[in-house]
Amino acid sequence: MNVVFQVTGFFFKGHSTVKPKYEGLDFNYLITSKPVGQTVLFELWRDGRKIHLGAEVKSFKASEMLVPYHEYDQQPEYIITGGFILQKLTREYLKRWGDDWTGKVTPHLYHYYRDFAFKPTSVRNNIVILSYVLPAEINLGYSDLRQIVVKKFNGMTIRNIADILTAQKLNPESSYDVIEFEMDNPVVVIPREQLPAADMFISKRYGIHKLLNIN
């Protein structure tokens, strides 16, 4: 089987006789006490031979990560519109699945966490997801949608959670807000005329005092 050795977002694969039940083993703890800039040497087996790989210890701010590991002293960032809860994907959110959460979360979300957490780009520095739908008349037929990645809002490619606020102002002539998702998930269409009353109902019905929180 393959064992993955991870150092600041880089993954190294090698062969191992470790029993399959262990699957991927995370070795972050090997470098947590090392100073930034130091090179950590890994010894592993690949294609039947021993090799050595060096990786430089780097420091990443949570604000610079595509999927932040920790965000201390901050409330989760979210926007609730028409009962659709749109929020930034973080490790703390994924950990809400409890023990062994890495095997429980949606594979597509775990892929972003495992393979791209340290790889923001100029076109995307957050992963924005539809985490849950608060049932209401305005979102009938969509209540089963959850844990899916937002791709576009009103035709605008979403780079971060704050982009939603900008996208909501687009296409003022349209009667609808339109949300598109990755992985060929259904497109959400929200009647704009019904939004003010629906948001007021949802706020009261579910005891939500703030329908948005953007840090």
pLDDT higher at 138 or 20: 138
CA gap 145, 83 in Å, rounded: 11
**23-32, 40-49, 72-81, 99-108, range with the lowest pLDDT:** 23-32
CA proximity to 177, closest of 141, 142, 153, 202: 153
Q: Give me the amino acid identity at 19.
A: K
Q: In which band, very low, low, confident or very high, does the pLDDT at 180 lie, cut at 50, 70 and 90?
A: very high
Listed by start position, the domains of the chain span 2-56, 62-213
Tell me, what's the pLDDT at 159? 96
Q: In which band, very low, low, confident or very high, does the pLDDT at 215 lie, cut at 50, 70 and 90?
A: confident
Does the structure show a pLDDT above 60 at 2? Answer: no
Q: In which band, very low, low, confident or very high, does the pLDDT at 45 lie, cut at 50, 70 and 90?
A: confident
CB atoms within 10 A of CB 176: 14
CA gap 19, 137 in Å, rounded: 51
Question: What is the mean pLDDT of the segment spanning 123-133?
Answer: 95
Tell me, what's the pLDDT at 13? 42
User: What's the pTM value of the predicted model, to 2 decimals?
Assistant: 0.78
The long-range contacts involving 22-31, CB below 8 angstroms and separated by at least 24 positions, are 31/7, 31/57
- Six-digit token string for 2: 């393959």
Tell me, what's the pLDDT at 31? 65
Q: Which CATH number fits domain 62-213: 3.20.190.20, 3.40.50.11540, 3.40.50.970, 3.30.2130.30?
A: 3.20.190.20
| Residue that the structure tokens 């780079």 belong to | 159
